[in-house]
Structure 1
Amino acid sequence: MILNEQVELEIKDAKYIIIAKHQSPDWDAFGSSLGLYHLIKDNFPNKEIFLVGEPDEYNLDLWSKNLDINIVKESLLITVDTANIERVDFDQKKYVSKIIKIDHHIVYENNFGNYNLVLENTIACCEVITLFALDRKWKISQIAARNLYKGLITDSNRFMYEGTSSSTFFVAATLKETGINIQEIYSELYMRSFQCAKWNAHVLLNSILSNGIIYYVATNDEHLEWVNDDLKFEQWKSVVDVFNNIKEVKIWMLIYPKDDGTFGVSLRSNKYSIVEVANKFNGGGHRLASGAKIKNLDEIPAILNELHKIINEGERK
């Protein structure tokens, strides 16, 4: 594949490499960043690589802060799991020499990279990166495979989402063959504290069900009350999944406060495409799993109205 060759050549030629993911990262973003970091280190040991943006709790020592502007100007920036340039979690992105975009999201606007390795039919960015590494015959170490597998299973919801394909299972098998302990990975990702279980129950008991749509509005006070060492922010936010597989629910969402005073919206469905609604509200993502952002809670009725339109149109077909 010519594009893969070009991407590999840019990586080989780069003096410095910066890897950036999207804001408010999930594990496909973390896994893509860390997986690609270790892949490049495994295959080009002398490369100087910087991970930027919000760090994950397990690899704090790998993440860089306050990069020297002279290094940034000579750097190749590789963005992972990020559809648009505004969501890239790196304040100095406009100063880099080149950008490679690696992603799997639906492209609704022009790609922003000098090279754009985007496979929309894959379930996770970690799948794209693994396929790229296999095409280039790169060595895949256990530590790279471990992070890539985390992104693969979280974005596919343990291979249950409709975008899961034979390619997804091929990638999973390839990563498993490196010797990773998948039971350990699943425990790390899905083992819950009692505090987390109580938060899930609280949200479910206090949610609002409206004609096939269920949602919960989390507050700053709840953030302060619930998030601690026993309930990390990502677990607090992933409570949206508690609404899955409820017979009466067709679309579900969690609305939560962000540091800048706006509100994030996690949107999910097991049947209806909600990505168009996400796009209307400053977001994007996938057909059945998307994210959006609203300025204030007064916009909730507008979102609900758009979502009800989708359900009504779907039921008329």
Structure 2
Amino acid sequence: MHLVDASKTAIELDERSQDIFRQIVETYLATGDPIGSRSLSKALPSPLSPASVRNVMSDLESLGLIYAPHTSAGRLPTDRGLRFFVDALLNVGELSNDERDGIDSELAGQGEGAFDAALTKASMLLSGMSSGAGVVLTTTQDMRVKHIEFVALDPGKGLVVLVGEDGSVENRIVDLPAGLPPSALREATNYLNAHVRGSTVGEARDAISLRAAEVRAELDEITAKLIEEGIASWSGASTRESGSLIVHGRGNLLQNVELRDDVDRVRQLLDDLETKRDLMQLLSLTEDGDGVRIFIGSENKLFSLSGSSLIMSPYRDSQRRVVGVLGIIGPTRLNYAKIIPAVDYTAQVVSKLIK
């Protein structure tokens, strides 16, 4: 499985330190409790005195991998420690055939509305296999340009006709620059069709913006202005500005939350989800590369919430274009070894369902 992490922690530990650190993290993931040197000395694969364990724990603490809660003499992993564990020590296996078949069966469907139903089921599946919320973000498909035509209307007014590869047609009325010769409409049409055909509207707009100097060098100023205004007339059409969200398992995020500050932070997260705040940023965080992206604790700036983890993966259409993202938002005490391959495979299945 191709795994893409949010960051890398450049730390090397000897075998003894790895064993102790791994036991601290695995105890935390299993129980949420800190573990002390005496318990660690009994749990290690090789005998080690509590005093020796304490020396190693001191080194791990100085590296910022573990810390001592004020209520206990034991140790817990820091966010940086969890990141190091996921990057360097976690054994991420493959799903069993039965687990794959289960996901395939749950998401399979036929007829009208089958894909939307699959997205909802994916959110429910991801929530059910974790102590967090299953999240699916889907974007509105941005039209891909097959042809653009400029047509003169009344004096000072023109029509921009955009034909999509899917056969859809959209029109926009634009102001024509003063003194525009009839040939400028034809030149603008030919230029755009030569340079943006096959692009999405958003991509076309970005490309013309980047080529502004070149456009003005190749064409006269009035024609260049017409091209810029014609493209700008679709200023709200990019998929990066719209999307829909499916969330299941919001209540899981409030379970086992004891401190008031933690409750307030989780409620803020839920508010952010309800208002779809920064959802397109979530898409941009995952669309580079094909693998799962992981954001742990304080690394997660998206929802202004420390103490949660995001495990997300994009899903793509038949042209390998990112059209959405799915995954899990939950506490840092997630079963990463189980959830990472499940998120990855679910994204693969959803991608195959897109037609």
> Normalised by the shorter chain, which TM-score bucket?
under 0.3
Q: Higher RCO, 1 or 2 (CA under 8 Å, sep at least 6)? A: 2
